[in-house]
């Protein structure tokens, strides 16, 4: 039986923390689908297409693919015949929300198991939100995201006047 895992998230944008988790998951499972949530409620910095494109560029493992989904994660997982949901946990503060999601997902789809993975300690404090904030205020994010992501952020912040310095979009 093929073990197919889904790694869902916003990935706005992908960071080395995400990539660290993807690399670890790629070793554990036959197939890993990195799935970007199309969430109309959030106003992300990058479009879903841009985020997919960046992820596809950053993902080098042959058993990892990139996709997008809308609606319930468990419905998408069923459709893809995936029985594992991967989430990266950094600090204890992540746990409460992750626990709620994992238990709700288990209730909705008992055949699937949520696996929490720890990113490498160098990445345990990185979040897309913090990366965007630091970058928008002129700080260096080198080593936290791939170089081409940094470049895309530079282009975005040049053209996006809705992200003024000091007033960052509060998205992941």
Which residues carry out catalysis?
18, 42, 90, 128
E strand or H helix at 114: strand 113-117
**Candidate ranges 26-34, 45-53, 101-109, 136-144; the one touching ligand PNS (CB under 6 A):** 101-109
Q: Which of 5, 9, 45, 48 binds ligand PNS (CB under 6 A)?
A: 9
- Burial class of residue 63 in the structure, from the number of CB atoms within 10 Å of its CB (0-12 exposed, 13-18 middle, 19+ buried): middle
Q: d(Cα 52, Cα 56) in Å, to the nearest integer?
A: 6
Q: Does 10 contact ligand PNS by CB under 6 A?
A: yes
Taking the complex as a whole, the smallest distance from the CB of residue 138 to ligand PNS amounts, in Å, to 25
Binding status of residue 17 toward ligand PNS by CB under 6 A: no
Structure tokens at 63: 């058993």
Q: Are 15 and 145 in contact (CB under 8 A)?
A: yes
- By CB under 6 A, residue 15 contacts ligand PNS: no
Using the rule CB under 6 A, which residue among 16, 17, 66, 105 binds ligand PNS?
105
Residue 101 touches ligand PNS, criterion: CB under 6 A: yes
Task: Tell me the C-alpha distance between 114 and 107, whole Å.
Answer: 12
Give the residue, chosen from 54, 73, 82, 149, that forms a contact with ligand PNS under the rule CB under 6 A: 73
- Shortest separation between residue 144's beta carbon and ligand PNS, angstroms: 16
Q: How far apart are CA 170 and CA 167, in angstroms?
A: 9
CA distance 15 to 55: 9
DSSP 109: -
Return the residues of window 19-58 that contact ligand PNS according to CB under 6 A.
37
Considering only residues 116 to 135 of the shown chain, the ones binding ligand PNS according to CB under 6 A are none
Q: How far is the CB of 100 from ligand PNS (least distance, A)?
A: 7
């Amino acid at each position: 039986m093929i073990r197919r895992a889904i790694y869902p998230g916003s990935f706005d944008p992908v960071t080395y923390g995400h990539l660290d988790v993807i690399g670890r998951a790629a070793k554990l499972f036959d197939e890993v689908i990195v799935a970007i949530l199309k969430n109309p409620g959030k106003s992300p910095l990058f479009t879903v297409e841009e985020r997919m494109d960046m992820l596809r560029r950053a993902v080098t493992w042959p058993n990892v693919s990139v996709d997008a989904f809308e609606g319930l994660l468990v419905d998408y997982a069923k459709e893809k015949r995936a029985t594992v949901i991967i989430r990266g946990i950094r600090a204890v503060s992540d746990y409460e929300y992750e626990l709620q999601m994992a238990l709700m997902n288990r209730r909705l789809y008992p055949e699937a198991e949520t696996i929490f993975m720890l990113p490498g300690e160098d990445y345990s404090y990185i979040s897309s939100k913090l990366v965007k904030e630091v970058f928008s205020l002129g700080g260096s994010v080198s080593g936290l995201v791939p170089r081409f992501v940094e470049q895309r952020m530079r282009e975005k912040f040049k053209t996006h006047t809705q992200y003024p310095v000091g007033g960052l979009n509060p998205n992941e």
